[in-house]
Structure 1
């Protein structure tokens, strides 16, 4: 049977399977905390846990499948629902599948065995004929071996994945395979948060980012809305569920609680900040941690997919309180322009705009606040027609004026300020004011020129996060030069809102090409090669979600 002859969901599953290399894309199941990676002669098994390294979450160091003569049967093919092992002749075969979220099922033909190498060095060997074996994995990463019912496990795993792929958007053919893989990433990154009543969080990555980050939830919801609006709403539900008494939304919701101040940071984050020479690694007073105000933007986009007025009104109240928090609590110098009190609250953790003193007034934050007040007014007009929207529109105008005052005519750039000191770095945050759509013509045109300038942002593989000719530029260091999908998408939207619709489409096409060329939705990309940056995470949630959103828009 060719791909074209298959039922649509099955075809999409096969397309996604072409990217499941068990290295950048592990074998897993929606809601599961178990990950299977390629090992030397077989596979290895890990769990996925909040703030624990993959190496610290080992379950089995290796699972090797052998035939009756003891020859290793290598991995021959991977599909979302199973890993196939086999000899070159096909005379000996075995498959591995999930048997529920916390167990693996392995079975094979007569004479085939599985050898399990444990963390402590113990080795055990099991025949796989018949129903095979079931490897049950406990929360403490211990295992129990039980008789298996492999056919049932395999069928159920395939059913779950086909149900997921039935929701995958159908897009332009040249983008369909990567869309299917990105849709797999979103399904694969679903975890349960039992403390929240089995809430389903689509995490940034089961490899190192097991929690619901506020900003990530917004971008992920925007992609999910095209096939699963209910799951998209669930991401916003979780992100909005734990506001502080003053309305602040937390940075992260995870299985052990929330992260809302610097006091909640794990030691690994503090150590990273110390290495960067940050003054806020160990503050004497807690610093609030949140994420940029894109809540109303995400809410509006999710509601475009499926209108839910009662739900919208409930969430809108929380969004308004969070927006008011920025002006009431995070305007740290009292000049009317809120600041980032911590690099993490910007989402751009190691951007050079934080090399100077903190707090930091940044043009991206100002632009987000302008847009969010206007979004709130529009949403109120739709869902609360008797509400007074004047204060939001008036505040947007005041913030826009302050934003325009951050323009530096000598450099032709918006400049951030750290504790009042100008920060001269030429970074992507200076392009975000395009999103307001109401910049003076000369400033708007200058930003368009910057996007096109090959010495600054007009690179072959996309929009770097620091201009290529800036002294702070690095093609590999997170927010100091690599291309990120979310900033590219936000700038593209800004170009469209500022009257450059064709240039916006070109940037969207370029961003989609980058993901295809780079082999998948990675965390960030080297802007010169178009491939994954060395330290970037793979199978990254918001890159996957925003690729889906791009593919739908470009169809």
Structure 2
């Protein structure tokens, strides 16, 4: 049970997060719930959607409008939003909307107030409100049932759930606390249950369009969660690792209907897009594994730093080793010792120009992750399985490092990706990742740092673009072709620190948290010229929120 002091801190943090809940970029929701509440376009009410895997919001309509009116028939607009309730109008008896369990909403108001519910099929119904309120229950088929509610009880329970969550929120530097509280809300808001996993809690990238546990996202999200809820952080890794194939390959996504682990599992529209692009791997008769870059050991180490769990660590470490072995046994597609991405999705950077050419693609980021992961495995085995032989991991890391360094183009002054053996000249953030090994030759290391400091390439006002601003493929708005992503910035900052540039690393971290504050929240990606959300980026994005928290803690 919370002490009065902890409860007061939790309430203050909840109120800070509430300052960002605009019901446009941040909907009203509840941990474990699939319901989302947004403002209506006319601002005179709210609308209700469900959150479902691979379905757009418009396809998940429950109520197109919930309009509250006073006794005189005047519309009562949304006047305040807090994590546990939405208020309409003003006054001591102002109507409020809250959750009544994960599958229902509760709405109550003073005498004479009424609500109009506009259903997705167009029909309307009206109800008188009272202090007891009405309970709006939403079924799995999005069907709505109305019954008498216990609004006071629902409101108290919803507030209790959110205060329990905010009691775990990390305390950071004053100038970062408000955004940290909002980012902690994002992580709680994005918790869903996956029916196939029983009561397992997956923190999804976003309830708006990304309702599943993506492997890469789970790693970044766990790294942020560890600062307040290490148990939930471990749960993310457990779900990500649990569905490995017999050969060790980890799936790209674990979702409510199963997993996404092969191009056979893609919608036909995705395969058709790849065929039109001339991809050699889009033939649906030849399935290609879909996974994500090998940062599993990195995430495992960081989560264990927050709270040790030796028995759990040994189980997960075995899964990480099998996944690492899979990359070398099954994804070295040209047999030269350096694994490749067999599909753009497996890179996490789907739209990067390094995939404009032929596939499979050998990329310096993948080589870097593999070097680092073999070293992570060596260290983790030394800690949790001290009798284990580590020679093969040490030797493989050395071999991969040599192959990685061979990707350096001295004339271009950068690491180059290769598509089916052909050099790819695009100047992208993947070429900066080898700094993370911490063992590059001094000249190479210094050249990469100089690139990061070059205002014509990567030293833009708001942060580190994913494609150099001087490159012909640069676009300030297009996914992985120029916008700033929080995860790549955080990884490059780690690389600067590992390579002997700690002050430059701190500068990049400060710049990254400043970007999120300036941009108004943890968006999916940002325009590097304006520092604002890119037009098509998702809002309230999980890994951006988690990594902001991780950066804020480290900077505090």
Q: Give me the TM-score of the superposition, normalised by structure 2.
A: 0.97
Corresponding position of 2:68 = 65
Instruction: Report the equivalent of 1:54.
Output: 57
Structure 1 pair 91/375, CA: closer, same or farther in 2 (3 Å)?
Answer: closer
Question: Unaligned stretches of 5+ in structure 2?
Answer: none
State the match for 1:80 in structure 2.
Answer: 83
Using a 3 Å threshold, how does the CA distance of structure 1 residues 57 and 271 change in structure 2: closer, same or farther? farther
1:51/1:266 contact within 8 Å kept: no
- Correspondence list, 1:147-158, <5 A: 147-158=148-159
CA distance in 2, matches of 1:389, 1:550: 32
1:504-550 deviation digits (Å, cap 9, x = unpaired):
00000000000000000000000000000000000000000000000
Taking the aligned partners of 2:143 and 2:324, their CA distance within structure 1 comes to 45
Give the superposition deviation at 1:5.
12
**Which range moves more in the overlay, 433-442 or 261-270?**
261-270
**CA deviations over 1:117-170 (Å, ceiling 9, x no partner):** 011111111111131100000000000001010000000000000000000000
Q: Which runs of 4+ in 1 moved over 3 A?
A: 267-284
Instruction: Tell me what 1:456 maps to.
Output: 457
Q: How many Å separate the matches in 2 of 1:343 and 1:52?
A: 22
**Offset, 1:347:** 0.2
Quick check: 2:279–2:359 contact (8 Å CA) kept in 1? no
Alignment-derived partner of residue 417 in structure 2: 416
The answer for the alignment partner of 1:297 in structure 2 is 298
Is the Cα contact below 8 Å between 1:437 and 1:498 reproduced in 2? yes
Partner of 1:478: 479
Per-residue CA distance 1:233-278 (angstroms, 9 max, x = gap): 0000000001111100000000100000000012453355456554
Q: Is the 8 A contact 1:93 1:112 kept in 2?
A: no
Aligned to 1:177: 178
What are structure 1's unaligned runs of at least 5 residues? Answer: none
Is 1:164 the counterpart of 2:165? The answer is yes
Report which stretch shifted further, 263-272 or 187-196. Answer: 263-272
**Cα distance between partner residues in 1 of 2:225 and 2:131:** 39
Secondary structure class of the residue paired with 1:195: helix
> Residues 273-314 of structure 1, C-alpha deviation per residue, up to 9 Å, x if partnerless?
456554444443000000000000000000000000000000
Structure 2 CA distance for partners of 1:552 and 1:268, relative to 1, 3 Å: farther
Which residues of 2 match residues 388-407 of structure 1 at below 5 A? 388-407=389-408
Aligned partners of 2:293 and 2:348 also within 8 Å = yes
Q: Which residue of 1 aligns with 2:547?
A: 546
Match of 1:534 in 2: 535
What is the match of residue 354 of structure 2?
353
Equivalence for 2:263: 262
Aligned to 1:313: 314
- CA offsets, 1:76-100, max 9 Å, x none? 000000000015xx37610000000
What corresponds to 1:506 in structure 2?
507
Task: Give the CA deviation at 1:455.
Answer: 0.3
Cα pair 2:6 2:167 within 8 Å, conserved? no
Conserved in 2, the CA contact under 8 Å of 1:86 and 1:92?
no
TM-score, scaled to structure 1: 0.98
Shift of 1:194: 1.7
Alignment of 1:130-209 (within 5 A): 130-209=131-210
Within the alignment, does 1:234 sit opposite 2:235 as a pair? yes
Conserved? CA contact 1:133–1:145, under 8 Å: yes
The 8 Å contact of residues 461 and 530 in structure 1, kept in 2 or not, is answered as yes
Residue 211 of structure 1 is matched in structure 2 by: 212
> Which moves more between the two structures, 400-409 or 123-132?
123-132
Contact 1:45 1:58 in 2 (8 A): yes
1:429 alignment partner in structure 2: 430
| Superposed CA RMSD | 1.3
Aligned residue for 1:496, secondary structure, equals helix
2:193 aligned counterpart, secondary structure: strand
Q: Give 3-state SS (helix, strand or coil) of 2:232's partner.
A: helix
2:99 match = 98
- Mapped to 2, the partners of 1:92 and 1:67 lie a distance apart of 11
Instruction: Give the Cα–Cα distance (whole angstroms) in 2 for the partners of residues 163 and 281 of structure 1.
Output: 47
Instruction: Give a deviation string over 1:478-508, Cα, whole Å, max 9, x none.
Output: 0000000000000000000000000000000
**Alignment CA distance shift 1:498-1:170 (3 Å):** same
Which secondary structure does the structure 2 equivalent of 1:93 belong to?
coil
Q: Could you list the per-position Cα deviations for residues 1-53 of structure 1 after superposition, in whole angstroms to 9, with x for gaps in the alignment?
A: xxx99810000000000000000000000000000000021000000000011
1:470 CA drift (Å): 0.1
Q: 1:92–1:112: 8 Å Cα contact kept in structure 2? A: no
Q: CA-to-partner distance for each residue in 1:361-387, whole Å, 9 max, x for gaps?
A: 000000000000000000000000010
Matching residue of 1:495: 496
CA distance in 2, matches of 1:107, 1:269: 45
CA apart distance, 1:230: 0.2
Give the Cα–Cα distance (whole angstroms) in 2 for the partners of residues 29 and 275 of structure 1.
41
Distance 2:158 2:178 in 1: 21
Query: Helix, strand or coil: the match of 1:61?
Result: strand
Aligned residues between the structures: 550
Alignment partner of 1:480: what SS?
Answer: coil
